[in-house]
Amino acid sequence: MLTNHRMPITLSLVSTDLPIGCGIETVGTLYQKDTERFHLLLTEPHTKEWQLGEDEQFSLLPQPPRLLWLEISPYRVILTMQGDERFSYRHLWERGIYGLSRFWLQGEEEIGNSTLRLRNFTRELTLEGRSLPRALRIDYELWTANLQLGRYILNLEIQH
């Protein structure tokens, strides 16, 4: 069973203990894989990034859009960001366990690429709507070895 629906999406990430927060509103395509499994494909709206030019002046340059791919079920969520020439990531969340968060940093050819692996502990994973998801909330902690790097809440709203 593969059906798809194009609909407005709101995605936000906030930290409960650090001054970090961001959100996007975009249109996404929701693919129904089976009765409880969905894939959601979003294109991040165009962004701009500060960059130092040859004249040593900073300017805002448009950045290419990035793809966000979510694999959603009531038990597990995988979020992958790809399409950025310098940075990609993948998070695996499953309630009550330590999942893996990976970040890939692509550098200049002579420097090479590097991977940063962190753990995340999913405190809560709530999916509303069984026939088609309406909302997703993930409350998790990000860890490296024995150091907690903050607690975060990811909210996803799908407007039908």
The CATH number given to whatever domain includes residue 72 is 2.40.128.20
For 24, the domain range is 3-158
Q: Which amino acid belongs to residue 29?
A: T
pLDDT tens-digit readout, 7-53: 999 999 999 999 999 898 989 999 998 888 999 999 876 555 556 56
pLDDT of residue 138: 98
Burial of 10 (0-12, 13-18, 19+ CB in 10 A): middle
Going 10 to 16 to 19 to 20, the CA torsion angle's sign is negative
pTM of the model: 0.83
Closest CA to 118 of 140, 95, 86, 85: 140
The domain tally of the chain equals 1
Is it the case that residue 54 has pLDDT exceeding 80? Answer: no
pLDDT band at 66 (very low <50, low <70, confident <90, very high): confident
pLDDT band at 3 (very low <50, low <70, confident <90, very high): low
pLDDT band at 101 (very low <50, low <70, confident <90, very high): very high
pLDDT tens-digit readout, 76-85: 999 998 765 6
DSSP state of 20: -
Place of tokens 């070895």: 145
